Structure 1
Amino acid sequence: MEKEKEFASQVQHIDERGRNIVLASETDSAKVKKFQGKNPTTGLYALIARNQDLVFCLPLVGAIFGAIAATPLTVRFGRKWVVIFVYALSYGGTFLQTFAPVLGAFVVGRFFNSIMIAIGTTISYLYLSEIVPAKYRGFAVTTSNVFNLISGVIATVVCIATYTRNGSSAFQIPLGAQAIMPTILIPLTLLVPESPLWLLSKGREEEAHRNLKKLRAYGDVLVNDELRVMKLALQQERELTAGVKVTDLFAKGNRTRTFVATSMYSVNQVSGVILSTTYATVFLTALGVGNPFQLTIAASCCTLAGTLVAPLLVDRIGRRTIAIAGMSVLPVIDFIAGGLAFHADKPSFGLGIAALSFIFNAFWAASFYSLSVTLPTELPTARLRNMTTSYSLAAAYTTAVITTFAVPQLVSADAANLGAKTYLVFGGCVVLILIFYFLFLPETAGRTFAEIDEVYEQKVPVRKWKKYKTSAATRQAVVVADSKIVNT
């Protein structure tokens, strides 16, 4: 019974993506009452649905604000110094979470840090894509996702090492550990040069040349050539985006491309993965199968495995094939896990649900997760590409807020009390999503932006994209563009 009370009084912290779990026990009942509510069935203190919404959902609203704020901040102040600034400010949010006297202060700390993390994440991807040579850019950006998932595994290991401690240190140590990475990254970031592309946009060409030379191992001739190409690209981007409005995303001829390009980042939230990522430890604790902390590590490793496999498959197999095949597996897992939930009181059935959730993570990461960051950059026409990417992030955060709010209301004992049966709801959602992508998702693997534009203009059915041959004029334009890139 004491062990049950200990688990019931756990306080959970999730980072901005909801995947780095920090769970801690508090044995002092007076302090527990500040962070928890009572389970109406058992009378024990537990992380009730309302508190889960506060802890998990509100910080995602902060992430929306952070994503919106990132663009004007980086346009005005650059990439490097904004990132350093948010690293420094994150100490305040970490301090408030670690020493929060009540749940409200804890949530405010998470909300503030979510804003900082969203700003830093948005700008860091942009900075990385600008300073890495073109031939390594895709690998570099994809690898950053891998490191993000590894950090989730490390966070869970820290929790395993502290959750059995007595007193406040059980959760204060993992929460305070959030300050370690900014402490390491601030001095490292001070050493890296500002983005040459941003410097060019501000007319600081001499500085841009100096910084690009620091980033490249070749001589002045090639540096000058790359800088010239940057200037041309910057000029073309300004010409393309001049006068672009948000409503252009939904104008005739663009709306289908916009919906398909931005949807996957949003709809992957309603696939069921939230149960085995954001709510993994709470979900596994409710099932009562094994050590929830160790199982959370297994879940994170499965997600990491799928993420590592994805870059090897996206170009070889194709976007549409991966999406349809991966999404066909997910509802099957959802329905089986949901069916087993009717007998979740039996240990073997509970363990089966946990195992299925881990398999789900791997397929989700290899299909939904990998394509979510690929489609927004491939499908839009050139003049709407940047705006489409921003809209995609905003839509994704909005869906995440809705889903994160809804799940506790479905799962928790003090709400709908569906538990793992919630997988059945998600299974139905994935079936609808699968139908949508079967009808509208084209195969873009191996296609240049010019070819994608032509195929859309010709209104070729998505099932025929793979075999469609673009016009000689488009192919010739691609050859000319490629030759220019090789020459520079």
Structure 2
Amino acid sequence: MSSTILPHSQTQATATSGDKADIEMAEYTGTHGAVDEVKAGNVVPPSDFVNLNRLQTLRKFWKVTLFAFMVSFGATLDGFHQTIPGNIIANPGFIQQFGTVVGANGQLALDALHVSAWGGVLSGGNIFGNILGGFTADLFGRKFNMFLMTLLLMLATICEMVATEWRVWLASKLFAGIGNGFAQTALVIYNSEIAPPQIRGFLLSTWAFFYALGQLTASIGLQILATSSHPNDYKNSIYSEWVFTGIFLIFLVFLPESPWYHVRNRNHDKAKASLRTLYGNVEGYDVEHEYATFLSEVEFSERLRDEQKQAKWSEIFTGINGRRFMITAAIPLYGQLVGGSLIFTYLTYFFQLAGLENPFLASLIVFILLLAFIAVSFYTTDLVGRRPLLLGAIVVVVICLLGVGIAGSVPETPSSKNALIALACIWVVAYASGIAPCGSIYQGEASAPRLRAKTNSLSQALGQSFGLIFNYTVPIMLSPQQANWGVKTGYFFAGTAFLGGIILYFQMPEFKGRSYAELDELFQKKVPARKFRTTKTSHQLLAQGTEV
């Protein structure tokens, strides 16, 4: 078992029996060898719920699914605070309040360097929150990070409400960035530690869904504002943040601490209490048995650390754990290389510079598509798998970004504007179908269970360091006051997306249906990324031997 009792000990040995792909067997000694490994304590014994398929798991463990949704709802706060800064800057009332320069048309405009500073501080706060969150998640628990995240985002909202000059708005971005950093180290980690493997892709991708819901809500608020009788009163769109905050605080009251956190700290009674809250309604669920399975994996993981004589932080970057860290960090990094800052943070600003008459409406359409196709990924990530969805999405986004650059190179016409919207929509469909859901899934699955909080926090910090660069430079690329690339910025991101995609092809393995114990084994045996799906593990061999 791994970071969740039922989930991490389960395997999809029987569920994968229909795969037509050849199974790699060369490195394994057979069923009897697998049994011996378990007896020796080198392989964690399976749970009592090994053979459930996805639908059976969802029905049987509906309660833990509900808790996972409650946790992921916190991502709406993250998505809202990440989206508002780059889109509200196109609001005339906001420009009137914070504008400090006069444009070529003689009208008041925002200073591009101020816009870059807001984006840069937001990403800088993210990095700080990511790194600090790795410590606090292990020291004080996952729920502590969630409460701290909520407090910081509340402070950010208050600053946005009272800001009358650009420096106070800058302070709100600092609080929002740190709060979002805590969100990214708490929400995905918690769900990865309670989710059954058969539906782990589904539950981990709910983070991306609710994040997109926050983005969509921000766009809806801005669109309503733009068509209201008081379109310049931009603060009306900020007030809705309190609704999400209040709902999430109610959820936190009923949420138990992660059992994984309690097991690592040898709080046995508290761990069992968390298990009963999460899984106690399941018929046939033996808390003592599942807890023992859970504890055996923790002890096995710690024994590996002691044998390798690695320090808790240094081991993240070396050997097998170094490989796992790079997989965890890959999607946060790649999300920036494919133009995440361009499409999401500065989408309305981007459409405004492209000459669209209603940039808020265009951005609203984009975020509706994002939400819809992330919802589709709930099913496809566990059916199709992570790697095929990711690689397919990469091909599409590269083509779309190249098309955006071409659209910016031709004379501005109604057709070119429509083409730009269409390309942005296709980009978002591909991103939502593969890159967005796979990002949260790989972050939850790739790291060693005992290093999950630290690995996740550092990988997010690395991704946000790229975000810091692009959140600062994208407005400069777009702005007529600076580089004046405008829509041609698509060429730049087409190149970075293509180069990054080549690296991901050789780096990203398939985790579909694997327990965390199986993933540990595959990484220990240094199985190439392309062979993860077809390699049979000791758990699978053990299950076959048990059936015989």
* Shorter-chain TM band: 0.7 to 0.9
1:302 corresponds to 2:369: yes
1:456 corresponds to 2:526: yes
Q: Cα gap change, 1:250/1:483 in structure 2, threshold over 3 Å: closer, same or farther? A: same
Q: How far did residue 97 of structure 1 move? A: 0.9
**AA of the residue aligned to 1:283:** F
The alignment partner of 2:88 has SS state of: strand
1:398-413 equivalences under 5 Å are 398-413=465-480
Matched with 1:231 is 295
Q: Indicate the larger mover: 288-297 or 159-168.
A: 159-168
Matched with 1:5 is none
Q: Deviations over 1:162-217 (max 9, x none)?
A: 23557797211112221222222223321333333333444443333334323320
Q: How far did residue 440 of structure 1 move? A: 4.4
1:140 corresponds to 2:207: no
**Take 2:206 and 2:198, find their aligned partners in 1: how far apart are those partners?**
14
Matched with 1:6 is none
Q: Cα gap change, 1:467/1:85 in structure 2, threshold over 3 Å: closer, same or farther? A: closer
Once the two structures are aligned, what percentage of the paired residues are identical? Answer: 22
Indicate conservation of the 8 Å contact 1:409/1:416, yes or no. Answer: yes
Structure 1 unpaired stretches of 5+: 1-12
2:350 maps to which of 278, 283, 286: 283
1:190 corresponds to 2:260: no
1:419 maps to which of 467, 483, 486: 486
Matched with 2:59 is none
Matched with 2:98 is 35
How many residues are matched?
Answer: 463
TM, length-normalised to structure 1 = 0.82
Indicate conservation of the 8 Å contact 1:20/1:156, yes or no. Answer: no
Q: Cα gap change, 1:190/1:456 in structure 2, threshold over 3 Å: closer, same or farther? A: same
The alignment partner of 2:286 has SS state of: helix
Q: How far did residue 227 of structure 1 move? A: 2.5
Q: Cα gap change, 1:219/1:426 in structure 2, threshold over 3 Å: closer, same or farther? A: closer
Q: How far did residue 282 of structure 1 move? A: 0.8
1:23 maps to which of 88, 102, 105: 88
**AA of the residue aligned to 2:259:** P
Q: Cα gap change, 1:455/1:17 in structure 2, threshold over 3 Å: closer, same or farther? A: farther
**AA of the residue aligned to 1:296:** S
Q: How far did residue 377 of structure 1 move? A: 5.2
Q: How far did residue 334 of structure 1 move? A: 1.5
**Take 1:176 and 1:232, find their aligned partners in 2: how far apart are those partners?**
48
Indicate conservation of the 8 Å contact 2:92/2:232, yes or no. Answer: no
Matched with 1:391 is 458
Q: How far did residue 245 of structure 1 move? A: 4.9
Q: Cα gap change, 1:167/1:174 in structure 2, threshold over 3 Å: closer, same or farther? A: same
Q: Cα gap change, 1:225/1:407 in structure 2, threshold over 3 Å: closer, same or farther? A: same
Q: How far did residue 478 of structure 1 move? A: 4.1
Q: Cα gap change, 1:160/1:391 in structure 2, threshold over 3 Å: closer, same or farther? A: same
1:323 corresponds to 2:390: yes
Matched with 2:17 is none
Q: Cα gap change, 1:454/1:54 in structure 2, threshold over 3 Å: closer, same or farther? A: closer
1:111 maps to which of 152, 174, 197: 174
**Take 1:68 and 1:370, find their aligned partners in 2: how far apart are those partners?**
22
Structure number with higher relative contact order (C-alpha < 8 Å, ≥ 6 residues apart): 2
Q: How far did residue 38 of structure 1 move? A: 2.7
Q: Cα gap change, 1:341/1:53 in structure 2, threshold over 3 Å: closer, same or farther? A: same
Q: Cα gap change, 1:244/1:306 in structure 2, threshold over 3 Å: closer, same or farther? A: farther
1:270 maps to which of 319, 337, 357: 337
Q: Indicate the larger mover: 386-395 or 240-249.
A: 240-249
1:170 corresponds to 2:233: yes
Aligned alpha-carbon RMSD (Å):
3.4
**Take 1:72 and 1:59, find their aligned partners in 2: how far apart are those partners?**
21
Q: Cα gap change, 1:205/1:240 in structure 2, threshold over 3 Å: closer, same or farther? A: same
Q: Indicate the larger mover: 278-287 or 155-164.
A: 155-164
Matched with 2:8 is none
**Take 2:150 and 2:262, find their aligned partners in 1: how far apart are those partners?**
22
Q: Cα gap change, 1:331/1:74 in structure 2, threshold over 3 Å: closer, same or farther? A: closer
Q: How far did residue 387 of structure 1 move? A: 4.5
Q: Indicate the larger mover: 268-277 or 160-169.
A: 160-169
Q: Indicate the larger mover: 368-377 or 47-56.
A: 368-377
Matched with 1:8 is none
**AA of the residue aligned to 1:95:** I
Indicate conservation of the 8 Å contact 1:213/1:220, yes or no. Answer: no
**AA of the residue aligned to 1:66:** G
**Take 1:449 and 1:212, find their aligned partners in 2: how far apart are those partners?**
23
1:339 corresponds to 2:401: no
1:65 corresponds to 2:140: no
Q: Cα gap change, 1:445/1:226 in structure 2, threshold over 3 Å: closer, same or farther? A: closer
The alignment partner of 1:217 has SS state of: coil
**Take 1:410 and 1:333, find their aligned partners in 2: how far apart are those partners?**
19
Indicate conservation of the 8 Å contact 2:374/2:433, yes or no. Answer: yes
**Take 1:440 and 1:221, find their aligned partners in 2: how far apart are those partners?**
37
**AA of the residue aligned to 2:132:** A
1:356 maps to which of 423, 437, 442: 423
Q: Cα gap change, 1:240/1:397 in structure 2, threshold over 3 Å: closer, same or farther? A: farther
Matched with 1:4 is none
Matched with 1:3 is none
Indicate conservation of the 8 Å contact 1:330/1:363, yes or no. Answer: yes
